[in-house]
Amino acid sequence: MQKKDGKWFTRKKGAMLVLTLCLVGAAAATTYYAVDLSDTAQEPAKEHMVDLNESPVETEAEAVISSEAEANLASQANEMDVDPKSLAGGNRQIRAEQETAGQETEAETEGMETEKVSSGQVNAVVSPTVSFASTQELQWPVAGKVLMDYSMDSTVYFATLDQYKYNPALIFGAEEGAQVVSAAKGIVDSITTNDETGTTIRMNLGDQYTLIYGQLENVAVAEGDVVERGQLLGYVAQPTKYYCKEGTNLYFAMEKDGAAEDPFLYLE
């Protein structure tokens, strides 16, 4: 009986040993498989980490520029005591508003130009106009007397020239420096100088009438001026070599359509 019990115990002990070895082997196999799976799962993650760290040159340059911009904004923010982020947002808003304003201004300008063209508006220089009727009277242009009368029908004697010739003007004897005024409203066409009448003003009265003032000095008007009746034109000058013997005078002539007219007939 004891023999049988010894054999059973021995078999039981052997079975337990085998079972223990099987359990240990299974545990070892399970651990190895888990470690292998962990290594396999970590390899893609490592590869992914490498890809993220390998940045292209352009990305690094952009990062440098971005850092410098942030530094500048931060510096401005420190000086103005504001948040750099709000400063950056404000700059973007200002740029957007400026672009919008520029687009609106261009659109308004184009619209105005289109409106002008469509309405036929043209910028034109409006020239002043004057008029003179044959019934109007002329103001005496200088204080003095008629030294030589108008004469286009017959010749008159010119003492300085010692000859007879036609006289297309009135020659008023006047003191040197006497004021000469405009006999009628008109526009100064020209101011010239010649040997016979010295400094001479031609004035357009309108309706093809012209007045001519000669033997002047210190002229008070300019070409293109609109001169009112009685306005100062200048002063009586020393006589030219054509009128030395006649003395100081005002040469006063009138034309209609380019032909001589007797100004005495128009004097008031």
Domains of the chain: 58-119 (no CATH), 145-266 (2.70.70.10)
pLDDT value of residue 164: 97
Q: How far apart are CA 22 and CA 27, in angstroms?
A: 9
Strand partners of residue 193: 199
Q: Cβ contacts of residue 16 below 8 Å, gap of 6+? A: none
DSSP state, residue 259? E
What angle is formed at CA 19 by the lines to CA 14 and CA 23, rounded to 5 degrees?
A: 150
Q: Is 26 left (phi over 0), alpha (psi -120 to 50) or beta?
A: alpha
The pair of structure tokens assigned to 4 is: 């049988």
pLDDT at 128: 84
The one-digit pLDDT tens for each residue of the chain (268 residues) are 544 455 545 565 565 665 667 676 666 555 555 545 455 545 544 444 444 444 444 455 555 455 665 556 555 545 555 454 554 555 566 666 666 666 666 656 566 655 554 555 555 666 788 999 999 999 999 999 999 999 999 999 999 999 999 999 999 999 999 999 999 999 999 999 999 999 999 999 999 999 999 999 999 999 999 999 999 999 999 999 999 999 999 999 999 999 999 999 999 9
Please answer whether residues 169 and 212 qualify as being in contact, where contact means their C-beta atoms are separated by less than 8 angstroms.
yes
pTM: predicted TM-score of the whole model, two decimal places:
0.56
